[in-house]
């Protein structure tokens, strides 16, 4: 039996992040934080579109439940509603709805990825230790993650050129998938059967040797042949 297959499905961006699979539409959304842009990819047609967002950083994109053209995005420390037809290069509207007030002593901080839980609530500033990179001798730092139907976490390793599967109950490393870029940023399950893993990556602060060795840095990848399925991405409820 062959192992997982990794293929590039997009051109590189500066700092890809926040992949979200819209299971009903069979469409992948993700962002380029430094673009700052929101990207859309439809695998069935291999069509890519993107929309530019005013601001310094945009770090996540999640559809708003019950709509076809509205998304929750974060711009810096702010949460906003993006209205976008999925085709135009400029948005119809961006309406700011709130700002994150925690960590007031760290005003330079920005939101960096997030997901909605099964009830439709957005989570971006809560954490607990489920797996220790140092104890398990894993290169890089934990970044975005997703959960599969067996309750195991798939974790992007920023600076580690890999995605790992871990058991959050035992804290054990289960498997590794090499990704052809040092800066692996986030993951999301997708595909019609939810058995594919989409992986975003970055292309920032790389030296010339790294750029030559990893020309696909900043691209989004699709991993198939995982042997496990994930859970569908949840829209946000307001």
What value does the mean pLDDT take over residues 94-105?
69
Domain boundaries, the chain: 5-224
User: Is the pLDDT assigned to residue 14 strictly greater than 80?
Assistant: yes
- What are the distances in angstroms from CA 106 to CA 17, 77, 109, 110? 22, 11, 6, 9
pLDDT band at 230 (very low <50, low <70, confident <90, very high): very high
User: What's the whole-number mean pLDDT along residues 67-86?
Assistant: 92
Quick: pLDDT tens for 190-225: 999 999 999 999 999 899 999 999 999 999 999 999
Beta strands in the chain (DSSP E): 5-8, 16-22, 27-32, 37-42, 47-52, 58-63, 70-75, 78-83, 93-99, 115-116, 122-123, 141-147, 153-158, 162-167, 172-178, 184-190, 196-201, 221-224
In whole numbers, what is the pLDDT of the chain averaged over residues?
A: 90
Least confidently predicted of 14-18, 123-127, 180-184: 123-127
pTM as predicted: 0.91
Range ranked top by mean pLDDT from 101-105, 126-130, 233-237 = 233-237
pLDDT at 109 over 80: no
User: What pLDDT score was predicted for residue 4?
Assistant: 95
The fold for domain 5-224 equals: Neuraminidase (2.120.10)
């Amino acid at each position: 039996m062959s192992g997982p297959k990794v293929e590039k499905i997009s051109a590189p961006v500066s700092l890809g992040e926040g992949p979200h699979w819209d299971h009903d539409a069979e469409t992948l959304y993700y962002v380029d934080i430094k673009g700052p842009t929101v990207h859309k990819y439809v695998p069935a047609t291999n069509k890519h579109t993107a929309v530019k967002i005013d601001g310094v950083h945009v770090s996540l994109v999640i559809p708003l439940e019950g709509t076809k053209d509205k998304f929750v995005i974060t711009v810096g420390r702010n949460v906003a509603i993006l209205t976008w037809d999925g085709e135009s290069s400029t948005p119809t509207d961006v309406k700011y709805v709130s700002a994150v007030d925690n960590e007031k002593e760290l005003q330079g901080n920005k939101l960096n990825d997030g997901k909605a839980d099964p009830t439709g609530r957005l989570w971006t500033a809560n954490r607990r230790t489920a797996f220790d990179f140092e104890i398990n001798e894993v290169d890089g730092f934990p970044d975005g993650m997703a959960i599969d139907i067996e309750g195991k976490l798939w974790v992007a390793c920023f600076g580690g050129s890999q995605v790992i599967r871990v058991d959050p109950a035992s804290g054990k490393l289960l498997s590794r998938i090499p990704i052809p870029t040092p800066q692996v940023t986030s993951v999301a399950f997708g595909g019609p059967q939810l058995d594919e893993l989409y992986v975003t990556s970055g292309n920032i602060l790389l030296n010339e040797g790294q750029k030559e060795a990893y020309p696909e840095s900043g691209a989004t990848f699709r991993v198939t042949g995982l042997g496990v399925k994930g859970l569908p991405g949840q829209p946000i409820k307001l």
